[in-house]
Amino acid sequence: MTEHINERELVLEILLAVTRDGEYSHIALKNVLDKYQYLEKNSRAFITRLSEGTLERMIELDHIIDQFSKVPVRKQKPVIRNILRMGVYQLKHMDTVPASAACNEAVKLAERKGFRSLKGFVNGVLRNISRNMENIKMPKREDGEIPYLSVSYSMPEWIVKVWEKDYGISKTEEMLQALLSEPELSIRVNEGKITPGDLKTRLETEGVTVRQNETLPYAFFISGFDHLRALPSFEEGLFYVQDESSMRVAELAQPEDGDFVIDVCAAPGGKSIHIAEKMHGTGHVEARDLTPYKVGLIEENIRRCETKNMSAVCMDARIRDEASVQKADIVIADLPCSGLGVIQKKKDIKYKMTPEKQKDLAVLQREILSVVHAYIKPGGTLIYSTCTINREENEENVACFLREHPEFSLVSMEQILPQAGRCDGFFLAKLKRKNEQKAE
């Protein structure tokens, strides 16, 4: 049938793409799984678990390797440090893998990758760790909460510090725990095409395990299938993969039939499609994004879900669009953000974000809000949302906007913290433009 595929070699490919070449982890994993679609379900599960787990626990793994290696992780060659990381992950976190297999396969992989001379080094470090698993020194809480939490939960110290300042130590630790738990795949029923009951039956006939979301009647958690694109119900657009917290945007916006809605940063389009569905095929949602590629993603979803009352437009949200001034009943500003609420799904975000990038994003968010609020009619609604949990990008931006725009009032504001396995960390604010109005 096919050539023999070495699963660990594919994991190494993913780790190098992410840590050396700057690829996003979910994309690197998807690329490999798409390329080797014919792999058995258990091989795909092994590749997913080992690559995601290694990325997720990288700070802890590096801390362990540094105790047993003369060459610190940061000075090792990328191939070697990633072989060691995945080796230690198997030793520490995968009970189903015998220690001998984790060590032997790492050594063979180093040789296959052209590092014959480092076989002994890889072997020595991993076997030493394996023998001393019970004696590994971890930072002690009493020596400092921040380094303790950072290593124990593999979260960069600067993020732990920001959360500690915003939420205190005990909430921060709860968050860190939740972000390491296994996420469930959440879906929203395309009610324009099928009822929740019929979709449940349909999915079950396709071999999928379906669990009702307790708060939203049109949402389920699904599991037990191999890959999404192989499900006919997905290809037919009967559902959309979307987190519960993202579904709250349309719930909060409360669109009415016939409304005109502008979503200024819409790709790949999940929230726009949900709002269009809630308007029962009436009115219109204009879903904008910055690049033709992103607009293409929205168009693909419009086609798959057969959404009639929606269009995708290429537009830079930082540039004022005169034609839209005071035209929209609702503006959705689900803006680019540091994404720290979705670390459970995008394992590498925490390493790629920096305090400087986060500050730049907060400035960009304020810039976009200062432009797009003008599109809202008197009495109309602005929804500002992010998938992050930093006050600077969330509450502080809302406060700044309200100071600069007294013609708006705050209806509600909610910071959703990531709760184990249920939903992403997310922020939503609803603002209303007052009815009496000066010209813009």
Instruction: Tell me whether residue 121 or residue 240 sits nearer to ligand SAM (CB atom).
Output: 240
- In which region does residue 355 sit, left (phi positive, over 0), alpha (psi from -120 to 50) or beta (all else)? alpha
Task: Find the catalytic residue in 314, 387, 400, 423.
Answer: 387
Distance separating alpha carbons of residues 416 and 54, to the nearest angstrom: 27
The yes-or-no answer on residue 103 being catalytic is: no
Q: Are 258 and 282 spatial neighbours (Cβ–Cβ below 8 Å)?
A: yes
Instruction: Tell me whether residue 255 or residue 268 sits nearer to ligand SAM (CB atom).
Output: 268
Task: Single out the residue of 243, 259, 277, 289 in contact with ligand SAM (rule: CB under 6 A).
Answer: 289
Is 265 annotated as ligand-binding? yes
Task: Single out the residue of 269, 380, 418, 425 in contact with ligand SAM (rule: CB under 6 A).
Answer: 269
Q: Which residue is nearest to ligand SAM (CB)?
A: 265
Task: Single out the residue of 61, 107, 210, 266 in contact with ligand SAM (rule: CB under 6 A).
Answer: 266
Is 269 annotated as ligand-binding? yes
- Determine if 316 is a binding residue for ligand SAM (CB under 6 A): yes
CA-based end-to-end distance of the chain = 67
Kind plus residue range of the DSSP H or E element containing 311: strand 310-314
Rounded to whole angstroms, the maximal C-alpha distance in the chain is 76
- Determine if 336 is a binding residue for ligand SAM (CB under 6 A): yes
- Determine if 317 is a binding residue for ligand SAM (CB under 6 A): yes
Instruction: Tell me whether residue 319 or residue 439 sits nearer to ligand SAM (CB atom).
Output: 319
Closest CA to 316 of 276, 266, 360, 356: 266
**Contacting residues for 394 by C-beta, under 8 A, at least 6 apart:** 386, 388, 415, 427, 429
- Determine if 347 is a binding residue for ligand SAM (CB under 6 A): no
- Determine if 246 is a binding residue for ligand SAM (CB under 6 A): yes
Distance separating alpha carbons of residues 39 and 45, to the nearest angstrom: 10
Instruction: Tell me whether residue 49 or residue 304 sits nearer to ligand SAM (CB atom).
Output: 304
Instruction: Report how many residues bind ligand SAM under the rule CB under 6 A.
Output: 17
- Determine if 270 is a binding residue for ligand SAM (CB under 6 A): yes
Phi, psi angles (nearest 5°) of residue 21: -100, 0
CB 294, min distance to ligand SAM, A:
5
Kind plus residue range of the DSSP H or E element containing 275: helix 270-278
Distance separating alpha carbons of residues 365 and 17, to the nearest angstrom: 29
Span near ligand SAM by CB under 6 A; candidates 1-9, 72-80, 312-320, 402-410: 312-320
Instruction: Tell me whether residue 39 or residue 264 sits nearer to ligand SAM (CB atom).
Output: 264
Kindly list the distances between the CA atom of residue 266 and the CA atoms of 123, 208, 222, in Å, as whole numbers in the listed order: 49, 29, 25
Instruction: Tell me whether residue 94 or residue 290 sits nearer to ligand SAM (CB atom).
Output: 290
Q: Where are the beta strands (DSSP E) in 21-145?
A: none
CB 401, min distance to ligand SAM, A:
17
Task: Single out the residue of 91, 267, 330, 343 in contact with ligand SAM (rule: CB under 6 A).
Answer: 267
Span near ligand SAM by CB under 6 A; candidates 62-70, 267-275, 408-416, 419-427: 267-275
Q: What is the DSSP string of 329-378?
A: EEEEEE-----GGGTTTSTTHHHH--HHHHHHHHHHHHHHHHHHGGGEEE
Task: Single out the residue of 188, 294, 347, 377 in contact with ligand SAM (rule: CB under 6 A).
Answer: 294
Closest CA to 424 of 292, 249, 237: 249
Distance separating alpha carbons of residues 40 and 187, to the nearest angstrom: 24
Residues recognised as catalytic: 387
Binding-site members are 265-271, 289, 316, 334
> Would you tell me which residues interact with ligand SAM (CB under 6 A)?
246, 265-271, 288-290, 294, 316-318, 334, 336
Binding-site members for S-adenosyl-L-methionine are 265-271, 289, 316, 334
